[in-house]
Each structure stands twice: as C-alpha cells, then as structure tokens.
Amino acid sequence: MQHLTAWSCENLDKIPVAVIGATGAVGQRFIQLLENHPWFSVEVLAASGRSAGHRYKDAANWKLSEQMPSDIGEKKVQDIDLITFSDNNIEIIFSALPSDAATKVESDLASKGFCVFSNASAHRMDQDVPLLIADINPQHLELVAGRKKAQKGFIVTNPNCSVTGLATGLKPLHEAFGIKSVVVTTYQAISGAGYPGVPSMDITDNVVPYIPNEEEKVEEECQKILGTLTDSGVILSSFSVIASCARVPVRDGHLESVCVALESNGTLDEVKQAFSQYKGLNNKTPTSPLRPIIVTEDESRPQPLFDLYNGEPERARGMAVTVGRIKKVQDKLRFYLLVHNTIRGAAGCSIMNAELAKMKGII
Ligand SMILES: NC(=O)c1ccc[n+]([C@@H]2O[C@H](COP(=O)([O-])OP(=O)(O)OC[C@H]3O[C@@H](n4cnc5c(N)ncnc54)[C@H](OP(=O)(O)O)[C@@H]3O)[C@@H](O)[C@H]2O)c1
C-alpha cells in the first residue's frame, strides 16, 4: 500500500524536469527514481552527440533490474550542446554529466536561470554552491535561497558517492560528541565508475587499491558538508580525514570501514542511539527516508547483498545508510557503513535535494 504523507495528495501540477547525462549509470537511476514522482515529471533527456537523435531505449544500454519506463524509452535523446531547455518549460535540470563536461555546461545553465542539481564534482567546492545532502546539512541550501526569485539560476551539488555515506554516518556523531579525526577505508562497487567503467580484465577476481582522485574528494568534501554556514559562506569543519579507496568486484554498493576519534566519549549505547535516532527529513519529502541510518546488530553485516536497499517508505528504498559492527577500539570508535552509490550516493540524493528546495520555496 502506498505510504500516505502530507506531500502525496498536493502537487497535482508537476514540475517539468530534464535529465542530462541521461544515458549513463546515474542518468538511468534518475529515470528509474523519477518514474511516477509526485512532484517532478521528466520531459527532456540529453546526452552527448553519440546518443543524440536516438530514442532513449536505443541510446541507453539499460543496466538496472527495474524496467525502463516505456514512455521514457520512446523519447528522443537531445544533444546537450544544441538543446534549448526553455522551449520545454524546464525549471529543474538533473545533471549526471562527467565532471569535465559539467564544468561549462552547468555554469552556462545556471547563468541562464535554470536550477541545476548535479552529481558531478566540477562545482562541489565552489564558494556559492551548496554541497548538499538534504537530510544532513539542509541549512546549506540557504546559499542559493532568493536566486530564483531574483530570476537567477543556481547549481546545487551532491557529494561523491562514498562521501554521501560517510557524511551521513558522521553527522550524528559530530552533533552528539564532536569529531577530532576520521580514518576511512572504502570498498567501492563497479557501478561507481559509470558504464562501461572498469574493464572486466581489471576487476574480475581482483581488488584495485586505486580510484583516481577519489581519496582527495573523500578527504575534502566531508569538511564542507559538516561545515558551518555563515554570512560569508561555509566554514569548513576542522577535523582531519584520511581515506584509502579500493574498487572491489561488487555491482552496486560502497562498503566503508570508519574509525573515528571523538571529542567527547560516549558509551556504545549512546553511539548506537545517536545513529538510530537521527531523523533527517523524516520522509517530509517524497524521497527522504523515515530514518537515514539503520543500525544492524548482526556481526556479519552490513553487506551489499542484503542491506543495499534499506530505506522506507517504498520511494526511499536505497536512501538509508546501514551501520554495523560498531565497537570501541582503544580510544577510537570503529564501525562499517554501506551506501547505495547510485541511489543515496547519486541520483536519489539529487532528487531529495530538489525536493527540499521545492519544499522551502527556493524553486
Ligand atoms: N556512478 C556513480 O555511482 C556516481 C556516484 C556519484 C556521482 N557520480 C558522478 O555522476 C556523473 C555521471 O556518472 P556516471 O557513472 O553516470 O557516468 P557514465 O555512466 O559514464 O555516464 C555519463 C553520461 O554523460 C554523457 N556524456 C559523456 N560525455 C559527455 C559530453 N561531453 N557532453 C554531454 N554528455 C556527455 C553520457 O552520454 P553518452 O551515452 O551519449 O555518451 C552519459 O549519459 C559523473 O560526474 C560521476 O562522477 C557517479
């Protein structure tokens, strides 16, 4: 049965949205998550010249287990360099472009008045761009408040997929105990590299302890997300992060081993409570989960095979981070967390960010 909330009966007029980079791993996830969305309706699909002019079902090599929505399959993919979004009354543009393409395209779109919600790393650390996880640092959306009313566009980014999981796990600890330092080791899925991504000869029967630029992103982005919003922008958090990132032969889901030095020590029970009582947006928007963090007591979990689609209600499947094996080691707190890299770690987070912007009247 559909979960009935305050948001489900309003909003009969849906906001027309475009997905750019629509044919790739994250683009496909956008299409799947936006199917029957109560607020947004996908009207335009764009990608590179390679896909332009083809029907979506011919251009996209669909890799999700969920079926491609049939109406989307028939839509023509447009060339990002030629398309005029205003012809289609588009207000929101969800971007799943590679970072090099996103740098100029997203800036141009924002300067033309569009609201861009991006997965690319290109603008994440820009002063006037929120690096947003709507249920972790919603106040950072203030950086773009008022732009739309002033008929200006903006870019809102979501973090690197591993960082989305890590920042979610760290947020309740940061609030309750304070954080001195973090050491994280990631075990990242193949889909994190897009499609076709990592060659099968490199990853079959193997683990690759190198993902270009990944450790740097993990080390800097957490500090912006958990930083403090001031009149002059976001002041970065002062805790240090050391990251080691490896690619593993798993299809979806990034597992992370996290070791945290806290400012003030809590008992294990207090730590577990801080995790499981963290409410976030509490499903006040369609894609935000009732509980962003699920704590498992099973000694062998979380695992991508079993815990990847945690999150409720139905529309928020894959939007919760699962935390387990929480223990004290010497004076540190050690735990594992699991994040769905293309849902909470990418398209789902972008959609939740746009929902928050709509809820706050920013779009
Ligand atoms: N995969 C993840 O788990 C994940 C998580 C978080 C963030 N991200 C970020 O999200 C973005 C998309 O990642 P992805 O994994 O979906 O990559 P992907 O599978 O390689 O897809 C890239 C998409 O961008 C299009 N594209 C490529 N070059 C283009 C250009 N020059 N102009 C216009 N369109 C172009 C491609 O279109 P064609 O099919 O026409 O070539 C395709 O639709 C990246 O910035 C990535 O870092 C990915």
Q: Which residue has the tokens 């109560």?
A: 38
How many residues does the structure list for the chain?
Answer: 363
Other beta carbons within 10 Å of 84: 9
Q: Which of 222, 254, 340, 349 is catalytic?
A: 254
The Cα 219–Cα 221 span in angstroms is 6
Tell whether ligand 1 has an atom less than 6 A from the beta carbon of residue 197: no
Q: Which one, of 99, 336, 296, lies nearest residue 214 by Cα? A: 99
| pLDDT tens, residue by residue, 342-351 | 999 999 999 9
Ligand 1 pocket mutation pick from 20, 23, 26, 50 by most atoms within 8 angstroms of CB: 26
Give pLDDT tens digits for 296-324: 999 999 999 999 999 999 999 999 999 99
Please tell me the residue having the least CA distance from ligand 1 atom 17. Answer: 194
- Quickly state the pLDDT bin for 12 (edges 50, 70, 90): low
pLDDT tens figures, 123-181: 999 999 999 999 999 999 999 998 877 778 999 999 999 999 999 999 999 999 999 99
Question: Is residue 254 annotated as part of the catalytic site, yes or no?
Answer: yes
Q: How far is the CA of 34 from the centre of ligand 1 (A)?
A: 17
Distance 25 CA to ligand 1 centre (A): 7
Residue in the structure block whose two tokens are 């499981």 = 276
pTM above 0.85, yes or no: yes
**Which residue pairs, CB below 8 angstroms and at least 24 apart, start in 205-210?**
205/249, 206/249, 207/246, 207/247, 207/248, 207/249, 208/246, 208/247, 209/244, 209/245, 209/246, 210/245, 210/246, 210/247
For residue 275, CA distances in Å to 111, 172, 337 come to: 39, 6, 11
222 belongs to the catalytic site = no
- Spell out a b/e string for 279-315, using b for 16 or more CB atoms within 10 Å of the CB, else e: ebbebbbbbbbbbbbbbbeeeebbbbeebbbbbbbeb
Ligand 1 contacts CB of residue 341 (under 6 A): yes
